[in-house]
Structure 1
């Protein structure tokens, strides 16, 4: 099957890049594509297109986009008439070419990392050229899978035929074969005879109890053995139904539908319960004061997928009750904050977030507080792990790391995360700090920015959901304006009240609940 969507040719501008990204997102959403793959495609498009606009010389006059699905492969084609470059060459990846590591820290390396394959073609008879990015889908079936086990081949074929119109059916002639299948494949329902050679149905069900991940697989006995002893033995194993042959097509289908529906309900209830417990455990929190700083955090959690994380660790040396002032002046004493945005909008991303929290805490605990540049060190270690670790490599995330110490001193480094704001009576300043996304290139390095704040100034850390939780560009601009104005206008009131005011404005002007939003406000304590 081949399907192609050609988007209207657009002028090469950041405004049109943003608009086209929304069009692509809508197209992918209508094609029932997974969120994980959709995020990859959208990130690759945004990086390729925006960097062409910002850095190509000569700059393209147009960018045209085609989206194609063919034989299990999604393809994104970008056509332009700007600078000729071949991103498939190895030296381009090493040098990142004109795709720099600053704003968002992404570029060619990110595109290579998030796509399965790419091609670059220069049209010899014209000045146009095309970048094609590809993503290969694994073969999957959308039908629930039912395993039928019976040594009577005629009945096995008959019941398989009954179910095959609605379900993906796998057949097994005895319990041993069925167990081998269950150990290798995901099955949604088992329908088994009881009396079979080698391994009967009761033994098969008992064998499943020895594998905890198969305990909840729905199980039906379909048998001509209707004596009370056999029935009681079967029911004691926690089966879902016990049916006596012969069984009509209608009865078999109705029973299978009922049990699968109930199984899905139980799965969803368990998933939602676990998801809530994980979400509650990931709720951002900070101490009210530390090392001469006041701090507060407030967030809006959608409860679906990924999530925003705020972690802290206090690096205090020589702490004693005898000379606390000496401790406050020791340069080795500081608190580190890490604000993280784990991308993804499904429950799987939530589990990855939970696993990631423990790993990041471990990195924070093992940072040597006596060494310089703790934030770049942590981000470098995080990036290397996200590239090499089998679990973390499945997560796309951004991170802002900051240390706070006495005298209003802060050191900041970011990895693909939005740059913080500094608010003072004279206005709002976006701090010039940036770094590449974790896990994109091997040996990524990060630089920190040192800043000093007075007692009447504030530092604002946030996740991008704070400014992107609106349906269109105009609404997002309006949201950003109102949020930043509120941040400035609340500079003179206590931190927690200011944070509540900002979130009140956020709640009023945002109507897109697909992403979490987190706000952290930091301010040096007022000297007494």
Structure 2
């Protein structure tokens, strides 16, 4: 299956380089829809292997590279060096291990094997590549609940009640909860009232002072005096439950509080979302009589992060398709912020050099305090003459060249923008003949299935439709393709999806 490049960087072999690469990897993983277990395994395996590449070979490599990819069914991490080959997938004698010593009896190799689903090693004349793989789990996000409880037994009971339906974090008091919330987000807080260092009432009060009062809040307490209940109500809590708590009672309260919160939150953001979504609707144009474009978009139901922009000057057109990671209200907000920023860049861009626009976008996003808070993928292209298109990609799915006989994948890729202080993007030039089409799309078009088999079925069916509808008028063809998407992905899908078809008339 076709994979998408998310990140690629090469550094001189040193412990400082390992630290910088790991920092970049951690930033990417925080923004991807990847479960925390797999994320931690990726970081651990990279640290283990790359540190040993630096410390233990007799002749260390000159460079070390990190490459991260995803496909419809797995994550792939490649660690590349140009030193002496040492294959961890083979059995080695202790004497051989000491030459490239993953010391402590080779325990580092055991860690890497145990923390990944598959491991492969390949050597050429120029370098060695350790490839690690993890299966992509179903894309079902559980609500994240923070339990603040100083009684260890009570905390364990609450976890046992909720573990199967929610993602759980526990903290023993309000002070540690505040520290956690500075760098992490949660969907609901369940807090005891009486705790050492900082109790539940003070925690809620501090959150309101720090403008985090939108987080739903449930108090648990054995205290039921009127003053405590009234003070808790003044702080804006969503429920107050008396200990001991029964599982059914707790689940009912959580379900009701979350449903009410989402209802209010969505109502408050609806007007803003309508304005933003209308602004970000796919609107692309080209003054050339040779090129015709059509777009269709689907959102996951809570805003969207996909958008297209274009700029035309005489016979030249520069077009960008982007996908802000996530598919909720925050993704819509960042889409709006990014779209406005990119419009400004486009006003001064060379319309024949798509890679230059992506380079500018990446460099500025790396330094910008707002834009660096999230990530996006982007594909930029320039229409050159009557049949030529130049394409540059930044972490985006590879475009498809559709002909009556087959579909060819356009081999263009680059690192996600904003991860590195300077990223250079490549360009690929292709010719689209009369009667052929080019398909650009965001990854939700093929990844809106819950399992890897569903995603593969979705991709196969859509590609078949792209060929089967090639003889139809462009608007009719794209409607037919999206109809297939709706049937297989459901309405709404579990990820935003945008399809752009380009035809040489």
TM-score normalised by L of structure 1 = 0.56
Measured after TM superposition, the shift of residue 390 of structure 1 is 0.9
Take 1:87 and 1:399, find their aligned partners in 2: how far apart are those partners?
Answer: 35
- Write out per-residue CA displacement over residues 21-42 of structure 1, whole angstroms, 9 at most, x where no aligned residue: xxxxxxxxxxxxxxxx997258
Partner of 1:275: 273
Take 1:402 and 1:396, find their aligned partners in 2: how far apart are those partners?
Answer: 20
Q: 2:328 aligns with which of 346, 352, 372?
A: 346
Q: 1:40 aligns with which of 5, 29, 34?
A: 29
Task: Please provide the CA RMSD for this pair.
Answer: 4.8
Change (3 A) 1:410 1:288: closer
Take 1:93 and 1:300, find their aligned partners in 2: how far apart are those partners?
Answer: 47
Given that 1:342 and 1:397 are in contact with CA atoms closer than 8 Å, whether structure 2 keeps it comes out as yes
Is 1:86 aligned with 2:127? no
Q: How does 1:123-162 map to 2 (within 5 A)?
A: 123-126=103-106, 128-129=108-109, 130=111, 138-140=179-181, 143=189
Is 1:515 aligned with 2:504? no
Take 1:101 and 1:247, find their aligned partners in 2: how far apart are those partners?
Answer: 57
- Write out per-residue CA displacement over residues 79-135 of structure 1, whole angstroms, 9 at most, x where no aligned residue: 779x95439969x9995526389999x9689xxxxxxxxxxx9443026434799xx
Partner of 2:460: 481
Q: 1:76 aligns with which of 33, 41, 46?
A: 41
Q: How does 1:316-355 map to 2 (within 5 A)?
A: 316=314, 333-355=315-337
Given that 2:286 and 2:317 are in contact with CA atoms closer than 8 Å, whether structure 1 keeps it comes out as no
Take 1:490 and 1:84, find their aligned partners in 2: how far apart are those partners?
Answer: 48
Take 1:123 and 1:471, find their aligned partners in 2: how far apart are those partners?
Answer: 41
Measured after TM superposition, the shift of residue 411 of structure 1 is 0.7
3-state SS of 1:426 partner: coil
Unaligned runs of 5+ in 1: 1-12, 16-36, 47-65, 69-73, 110-120, 146-157, 172-180, 190-245, 317-332
3-state SS of 1:505 partner: helix
Partner of 1:67: 37
Change (3 A) 1:94 1:393: farther
Given that 2:438 and 2:501 are in contact with CA atoms closer than 8 Å, whether structure 1 keeps it comes out as yes
3-state SS of 1:284 partner: coil
- Write out per-residue CA displacement over residues 401-452 of structure 1, whole angstroms, 9 at most, x where no aligned residue: 0111332111111111111111112211111111111112222111111111
Take 2:229 and 2:34, find their aligned partners in 1: how far apart are those partners?
Answer: 49
Take 1:353 and 1:85, find their aligned partners in 2: how far apart are those partners?
Answer: 35
Q: Number of paired residues?
A: 355
Partner of 2:298: 300
Q: 1:362 aligns with which of 322, 344, 352?
A: 344
Given that 1:360 and 1:382 are in contact with CA atoms closer than 8 Å, whether structure 2 keeps it comes out as yes
Given that 1:296 and 1:520 are in contact with CA atoms closer than 8 Å, whether structure 2 keeps it comes out as yes
Q: How does 1:95-494 map to 2 (within 5 A)?
A: 97=65, 99=67, 122-126=102-106, 128-129=108-109, 130=111, 138-140=179-181, 143=189, 168=203, 170=205, 185-186=210-211, 188=213, 248-251=227-230, 253=232, 267-287=265-285, 290-304=288-302, 306-316=304-314, 333-369=315-351, 374-494=353-473
**Please, which moves more after superposition, 496-505 or 431-440?**
431-440
3-state SS of 1:399 partner: strand
In terms of Rg, which structure is larger? 1
Take 1:440 and 1:418, find their aligned partners in 2: how far apart are those partners?
Answer: 18
3-state SS of 1:86 partner: helix
Partner of 1:112: none
Change (3 A) 1:464 1:101: closer
Measured after TM superposition, the shift of residue 334 of structure 1 is 1.3
- Which has the bigger relative contact order, CA under 8 A and spacing at least 6? 2
Change (3 A) 1:387 1:42: closer
Measured after TM superposition, the shift of residue 485 of structure 1 is 0.5
Measured after TM superposition, the shift of residue 167 of structure 1 is 6.7
Unaligned runs of 5+ in 2: 4-25, 80-100, 117-175, 215-224, 240-256
Change (3 A) 1:272 1:492: same
Partner of 1:155: none
Take 2:413 and 2:261, find their aligned partners in 1: how far apart are those partners?
Answer: 47
3-state SS of 1:390 partner: coil
Take 1:486 and 1:358, find their aligned partners in 2: how far apart are those partners?
Answer: 34
- Write out per-residue CA displacement over residues 267-299 of structure 1, whole angstroms, 9 at most, x where no aligned residue: 542223212321222111223763520111111
